[in-house]
Amino acid sequence: AQSVTQPDIHITVSEGASLELRCNYSYGATPYLFWYVQSPGQGLQLLLKYFSGDTLVQGIKGFEAEFKRSQSSFNLRKPSVHWSDAAEYFCAVGASGGSYIPTFGRGTSLIVHP
């Protein structure tokens, strides 16, 4: 079965600084990878997803993520963080050979200082 790890429970950055949120997955074949964002008091919204092709994926709100098979990682990045990016971020992994429902990580809470 697939699994996903988000090593950082909290990340604090200053507004305007760059951001990288880590995600590591465990799955034998090519995984289907997702990043979702949850703003305070709201449901989750898809930022981006990857399942084939170019390993650098562009998403909404200026986010991008890079799939690195050798490191089993799918880290989320943003070059300049805005205060409105403060939220909970979830990485998820899906497996083509098993259940079609993705497995979610435990989330990383992003705090943005002015």
Partner 1 sequence: NAGVTQTPKFQVLKTGQSMTLQCAQDMNHNSMYWYRQDPGMGLRLIYYSASEGTTDKGEVPNGYNVSRLNKREFSLRLESAAPSQTSVYFCASSLGGAVSDTQYFGPGTRLTVL
Interacting stretch for partner 1, rule CB under 8 A, among 18-26, 54-62, 66-74, 87-95? 87-95
Nearest to 46 by CA among 56, 55, 33: 33
Judged by CB under 8 A, which of 28, 54, 70, 100 binds partner 1?
100
Q: Report d(CA 94, CA 97) in Å as an integer.
A: 9
Nearest to 10 by CA among 2, 21, 18, 1: 21
Q: Report d(CA 39, CA 14) in Å as an integer.
A: 18
Q: Between 32 and 71, how does the x/- string for binding to partner 1 read (CB under 8 A)?
A: x-x-x----xxxxxx--x-x--------------------
Contact flag: residue 27 with partner 1 (CB under 8 A): no
Interacting stretch for partner 1, rule CB under 8 A, among 13-21, 31-39, 53-61, 63-71? 31-39
CA atoms within 13 A on the CB side of 77: 12
> 30: Cβ–Cβ under 8 A, 6 or more apart, which residues?
51, 52, 69, 96
Residue 28 vs 41, nearer CB to partner 1? 41
Name the site residues for partner 1 (rule: CB under 8 A): 9, 32, 34, 36, 41-46, 49, 51, 90, 94-96, 100-102, 104-107
